[in-house]
Amino acid sequence: MPKMFLLFSHNLTQDQIEDAKENLKVNEFVKLPPNLQELWSNIPPDIKDISSYLEPIKEWLKNHINPKDYALIQGDFGATCKMAQFVKEQGAMALYATTKRDAKEQIIDGKIVKTSVFKHIQFREY
């Protein structure tokens, strides 16, 4: 059964877990090791070319991901694009999560307060 590698900076929601298990037949969710998660979550905005910065993550993935696996990739736009391409080159599928936003406005103490609730809809291939 396939695994889902998580290249993003937050936790999966219960809806996302259930969707991955039910529709993608994922049986294991694989987080980046802490040192690589730190890299992924803190991509410096002042580096012109992040290719070498991403090498440790690519090397780790190359040693762990299989062609039938998935990688859920969300974060810095450039890093996401590069890693989605890399995952595809490994024969695996690069995904992102889609959501529906439900926005509500309330007046609290004379101020308009807008609250948005995001609901997972599906995973979509890059």
pLDDT digits (tens, 9 = 90+) for 40-59: 999 999 999 999 999 999 99
pLDDT for the residue 100: 93
Whether 73 contacts 83, CB under 8 Å: yes
Q: Give the pLDDT mean for 82-102.
A: 96
89/40 Cα distance (integer angstroms):
20
Q: 66 or 10: whose pLDDT is higher? A: 66
Q: Give the pLDDT mean for 10-14.
A: 93
Give the pTM.
0.88
Consecutive H or E run containing 19: helix 14-23
Q: Given the structure tokens 């290249």, which residue do they identify?
A: 7
Q: Give the pLDDT mean for 98-118.
A: 89
For residue 123, report the phi and psi dihedrals to the nearest 5 degrees.
Answer: -95, 140
